Structure 1
Amino acid sequence: MTTFIHPSESVNRPNSPGQRFLYAISDVWTMTRRDFMHWRGRPGTILLGWLFPVMIVLMFGFLFGGAIRVPGDGGYFEFLMPGMFAMTMVFGLETTVISVASDASKGVTDRFRSMPMNASAVVLGRCIADMLNSIVGLAVLIGTGLLLGWQWHDGLNAAIAAIGLLLLLRFALLWVGIYIGLSTKGPEAVVSVQILVWPIGFLSSVFVDPSSMPAWLGAIAEWNPLSATAAAARELFMNPGWQGDNWIARNGILLAIIWPIALTAVFLPLSVRRYRGLRR
């Protein structure tokens, strides 16, 4: 294992707020760079993570697309891609949980805690590295959609806003994954995330209209944070989407902002507190 530490001056760090902030930024970047180096040693896993959503798009688009009627009789890929962009924000959380849980169970996290470094650097570094990985994965999927005929119809600013909402959801979900990884050590952490990822992904408006489900199940799907982001992306890209007259259907963009902020407000401090409390 390779561990990065600061030079000898890191042992006696200055106490001024500005210098502490600069050292905190340096600590976070050190931990982010550590994750990059680990990924460089297993490029196949990273590449597979980028291509797996592409496979899902091709499978649903070509195998099931002809059987699904799109609102307004639009093209199926126009409808599918914004939902898949949102669903991709859930994919890959297993990798986050595995890495965090592995570091905690092997004592690596305890070693970091014994060093003169910012207490939040480990979890923040992990989150930043995974966000950069998610950006590349989303770019790959957007490129795939463009090749398949998908496009946005309301200008670049609206498209950037949609991408921003997608990454905001990813940022929030990463904190959920980090918290699970810190709380559950061992293989059960991966199983717990896999159990959560697929129901969250499919129990949504990504592939089907919630009104076609039993009433109680449709209500759960409508309130799913993934449904909110998918609906907001379709609206901003001006792609066809499921129509509805209720408050949820009319406020997709608002919910796509509220849900990630609420999840982050809960799980970011929980993750930092959990990290600080390990092995105490």
Structure 2
Amino acid sequence: MSALVYDGAAILGRHLQRIRHAPAILVMTQTMPIVFLLFFGYVFGGALAMPGTEYRAYLVPGLLVATAANGIMTGMFTAAQDAHRGVMDRFRTLPMSRAAVPLGQAAADLVTTAVGLVPLMLVGLAMGWRIEGGALEAVGAFGLLLLFRFATTWVGILLGLASRSEEAAGQLGSATFMLPLLSNAYIPTDGMPGWLRTVAEWNPISAVATAVRDLFGNAEGAAAAAAEGAAWPVAHPVAGAVGWSLVLLAVCVPAAVRRYAAPEG
């Protein structure tokens, strides 16, 4: 365990240095949610207003969760880049824990996300969104966002290691942009056709977004997301969000470590 922690910390430092010298991906992934917030909040805010609910109070938690879900894209691209440029082959020749390399990447992504979520929240506060719950619940919401980001990053790492090329990983990663659109991150699901509502509510993003709205005290937004007849993860959002995150970790962490240790297997 000590070797895993030591080696993982070394890889974490390597990725943080990498971001420092090539910040383009970080800037893109952290600024796009702010652009979306301004665009949806001001351009579409009136048209998308929901009865009894301030749309920006609904939108900000959804965008925070959409940002957490972007871990799939960044994890996939970074892992594929290292895998197809021979970096991971060099790591495999070193006497270090096989789990340390993907763990260090996931930990570095978690650190940068924790910092990157703050500007989005500040812009949301400037636009009128408020944290209406207690301090403990707000900390829980932030922790849930990081847990979900950690889980989605492992999904991305697994897909990046399994990708055929760096370009294929980039294309597939860009397609994950659709995932928040198929959820309640931006609009409630109760007005969707039955089959589409079922798909959206079983999307892990929907459970996490509803849980974050609930924990931040945006009660009307949470109620709008978890309307009557909602699927179990949305009707029980905190349990659903934690459950989805743990399932993703339980599946993807060992699979990614095995893929890294035996890339041709």
TM-score normalised by structure 1 residue count: 0.88
Q: Percent identity?
A: 36
The answer to whether the 8 Å contact 1:70/1:79 transfers is no
Corresponding residue number in structure 1 for 2:227: 244
The answer to whether the 8 Å contact 2:71/2:153 transfers is no
Corresponding residue number in structure 1 for 2:248: 263
Larger radius of gyration, structure 1 or 2? 1
Aligned length: 258
Is 2:173 the counterpart of 1:188?
no
Change (3 A) 1:95 1:154: closer
Runs ≥4 in structure 1, deviation > 4 angstroms? none
Instruction: Name which of 117, 125, 137 aligns with 1:146.
Output: 125
1:31-51 deviation digits (Å, cap 9, x = unpaired): 111111111112344233221
Instruction: Name which of 177, 181, 186 aligns with 2:156.
Output: 177
**Amino acid corresponding to residue 144 of structure 2 in structure 1:** L
Corresponding residue number in structure 1 for 2:64: 85
Corresponding residue number in structure 1 for 2:19: 39
The answer to whether the 8 Å contact 1:127/1:171 transfers is yes
Say which SS state the counterpart of residue 275 (structure 1) adopts.
Answer: helix
The answer to whether the 8 Å contact 1:172/1:260 transfers is yes
Distance in 1 between residues matched to 2:111 and 2:76, nearest whole Å: 16
Is 2:90 the counterpart of 1:105?
no
Instruction: Name which of 23, 26, 39 aligns with 2:3.
Output: 23
The answer to whether the 8 Å contact 1:110/1:278 transfers is no
Structure 1 unaligned segments of length 5 or more: list them: 1-20
Say which SS state the counterpart of residue 119 (structure 1) adopts.
Answer: coil
Bigger CA drift: 115-124 or 96-105?
Answer: 96-105
1:105-127 deviation digits (Å, cap 9, x = unpaired): 12211111111111111100000
Cα shift at 1:279: 4.2
Instruction: Name which of 213, 234, 238 aligns with 1:253.
Output: 238
Distance in 2 between residues matched to 1:45 and 1:274, nearest whole Å: 24
Cα shift at 1:69: 2.6
Say which SS state the counterpart of residue 49 (structure 2) adopts.
Answer: coil
1:62-112 deviation digits (Å, cap 9, x = unpaired): 01010113242x322111111111111122533322221121112211111
**Amino acid corresponding to residue 193 of structure 1 in structure 2:** G
Change (3 A) 1:90 1:269: same
Output the aligned Cα RMSD: 1.5
Corresponding residue number in structure 1 for 2:112: 133
Change (3 A) 1:144 1:206: same
Distance in 2 between residues matched to 1:207 and 1:159, nearest whole Å: 20
Change (3 A) 1:98 1:140: same
1:242-262 deviation digits (Å, cap 9, x = unpaired): 142235343111101110111
Say which SS state the counterpart of residue 66 (structure 1) adopts.
Answer: coil
1:228-251 deviation digits (Å, cap 9, x = unpaired): 011011111121221422353431
